[in-house]
Chain A
């Protein structure tokens, strides 16, 4: 399967712990996005990268959240000192980054903070 891959698929953590998620985009895609989705809502934009540069961060992304894409390939999203409100599906998507292309989504990582 050469689609967008996310790991892990599920994560249960205790409040206050740190968690890290990984996303492997489609290989030739230079743009990578992170979204968060809660039940009954559409995906909410968190941040995106053009190659290794983080071009935009949502105000939803508090100081406890950090994302990296060190070599312009895979990306990680870390949440420090998790809170129950962080429980959600975290989605990664990638695209060619041109004006006429769509984004392809991964299966997501479901985070449950207990």
Chain B
């Protein structure tokens, strides 16, 4: 069965610090990969997605993620965080061939100190 692991449950950074959130998935076939963000009191929004092609994908608000197939990883990065990045971040995966259910990780809460 597919699963997604996010090892950082809570990350606290100061403004302008660099960010990297880890995500690993378990599935041997072709996958679609996503990062969703949930700002306080708001619904889940897509941050970025990988379907195929360049393994380095860029999303909104300066975020990017790199798909490393050999490591089953899809880590999220941002070179300089802002206070407004305070949110919960979820990595997710689904199987490419069937476009089936999307499986989410448990999330990483990001707190930015102003």
Given known A42-B105, A45-B102, A48-B101, contact A100–B44 (CB-CB < 8 A): no
- A42 pairs with B102, CB closer than 8 A: no
Cross-interface CB contact of A103 among B52, B102, B107, cutoff 8 Å: B102
Chain A residue, CB-CB nearest to B52:
A100
- A105 pairs with B102, CB closer than 8 A: no
Question: Does B51 sit within 8 A of A, measured CB to CB?
Answer: yes
Interface residues on B, range: 20 to 34
- B107 pairs with A91, CB closer than 8 A: no
Residues in A neighbouring B103, C-beta threshold 8 A: 45
Cross-interface CB contact of B44 among A43, A45, A98, cutoff 8 Å: A43
Question: Does B90 sit within 8 A of A, measured CB to CB?
Answer: yes
Question: Does B82 sit within 8 A of A, measured CB to CB?
Answer: no
CB-CB contacts of A28-41 with B at 8 A, as 1s and 0s? 00010101000011
How far apart are A40's CB and chain B's nearest CB, in angstroms? 7
A interface list, Cβ under 8 A from B: 31, 33, 35, 40-45, 48, 55-56, 91, 93, 95, 97-108
